[in-house]
Amino acid sequence: MIVNIHDKKFETYISDAQIEDAVSRISMQIDQDYAGKRPLFLVVLNGSFLFAADLFRKLHVEAEICFIKLASYQGMKSSGKVTTAIGLDTPVKGRDVILIEDIIDTGKTLFEFIPELKERQPTSLRIASLLLKPDALKYDVKADYIGFSVPNDFLVGYGLDYDGLGRNFGEILKLMP
């Protein structure tokens, strides 16, 4: 599929079926790793909302979910500044927290947020990210569950946007040269 979003063209990069397989694989890993526990999903809005919803509904372990909003992107480039637009209102002390991200790019967003989260003393903290750009990583952030490692291309779809649009596609598309 090729689509126009604003002034750019994007083409299919990861299909709906591939995404579903990856989400199923991660949900099975979480079911195993958290058997007998009750993890708290902490979802980083906006981009992660579809991944979080699909992953959450595949889980068999008891789990809770809450949402925060951090942002460091404007247009197609990281602005280099992380802002908290919606704060954390759910107590995480003593909880097994799984942070849910759409994509780890430079790692800055999580690198800055994780210490703040650890101050709140969760029992454990793991990170699940649908996508990881290993070549863009500049900060020491390690994801425990990863859907796909991707090259340094600009991606949209399945929650990811280009200036507000493109989040509704069921597949992931990349910017065409």
Residues near ligand 5GP, by CB under 6 A: 47, 72-73, 78, 101-109, 154-156, 160-162
What is the C-alpha separation between 83 and 4, in angstroms, rounded? 29
Those residues whose C-beta lies under 8 Å from the C-beta of residue 165, and which sit 6 or more positions away, are 5, 6, 156
- Count the alpha carbons within 13 Å of 36 in the hemisphere toward its beta carbon: 0
What is the C-alpha separation between 129 and 42, in angstroms, rounded? 12
Residue with smaller CB distance to ligand 5GP, 60 or 142:
142
159 lies in the site for Mg ion, by CB under 5 A: no
47 lies in the site for Mg ion, by CB under 5 A: yes
156 binds, among Mg ion, ligand 5GP, none (CB under 5 to 8 A by kind): ligand 5GP
What is the C-alpha separation between 75 and 57, in angstroms, rounded? 31
105 is catalytic: yes
72 binds, among Mg ion, ligand 5GP, none (CB under 5 to 8 A by kind): ligand 5GP
Q: So which residues are the catalytic ones?
A: 105
Which residues form the interface with Mg ion (CB under 5 A)? 47, 102
